[in-house]
């Protein structure tokens, strides 16, 4: 992705960039861009306009519910001496639903302002790293608010 053009006296404090997503924190703003279906979604929020920062966890619970139902159905069918072909398909479906559940879980950080929000997926962050990220953003906000 194209690098950010900084304002006068603006410095980059944090740059989290991967192939599809960019999250840049400067001493003036937060910039997020994400490639989706060949298009770039870009959001930029000035630090003095940020109203809240939220970290949340999401998952598709429907996958684990379907895995439980399918697993129970597999057990009941096996106990009742059902067809082994059907049992194997049901077992494959159960395993697939469990894999989908674990592969679609995600943590994300949402930075809100009165005119928009940034929702950034944070992969591989433990609690310490998450708190460090939020502290970095809050310190930048405090410095901006004290200079204006």
Average pLDDT score over residue span 106-116: 86
Query: pLDDT at position 24, please?
Result: 87
Q: How far apart are CA 33 and CA 40, in angstroms?
A: 6
CB 30 within 8 A of CB 50: yes
pLDDT over 70 (residue 82): no
Q: Using the CB atoms, write b or e for 45-70: b if 16+ within 10 Å.
A: bebeebeebeeeeeeeeebeebbeeb
Q: What is the pLDDT of residues 42-55, one digit of tens each?
A: 888 888 888 888 88
Q: What is the pLDDT of residues 3-16, one digit of tens each?
A: 677 778 888 888 88
Query: pLDDT at position 101, please?
Result: 92
Average pLDDT score over residue span 81-93: 76
How is the chain split into domains, by residue range?
Answer: 12-58+113-126+135-147, 61-104
pLDDT over 90 (residue 136): no
Least confident stretch, 9-18, 65-74, 94-103: 9-18
On average, the pLDDT of the chain sits at: 83
Q: Which helix (H) or strand (E) holds 91?
A: helix 84-104
Gap between the terminal Cα atoms of the chain: 31
């Amino acid at each position: 992705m194209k690098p950010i053009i900084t304002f006068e006296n603006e410095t980059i404090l944090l740059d989290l960039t991967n192939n599809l997503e960019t999250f840049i924190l400067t001493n003036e703003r937060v910039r997020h861009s994400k490639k989706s279906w060949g298009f770039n979604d870009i959001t930029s929020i000035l630090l003095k306009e940020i109203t809240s920062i939220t970290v949340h966890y999401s998952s598709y619970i429907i996958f684990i519910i379907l895995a439980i139902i399918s697993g129970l159905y597999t057990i009941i069918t096996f106990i009742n001496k059902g067809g082994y072909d059907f049992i194997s398909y049901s077992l494959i479906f159960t395993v697939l639903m469990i894999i989908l559940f674990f592969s679609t879980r995600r943590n994300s950080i949402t930075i809100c302002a009165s005119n928009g929000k940034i929702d950034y997926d944070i992969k591989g962050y433990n609690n310490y790293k998450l708190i460090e990220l939020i502290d970095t953003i809050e310190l930048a906000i405090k410095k901006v608010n004290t200079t204006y």
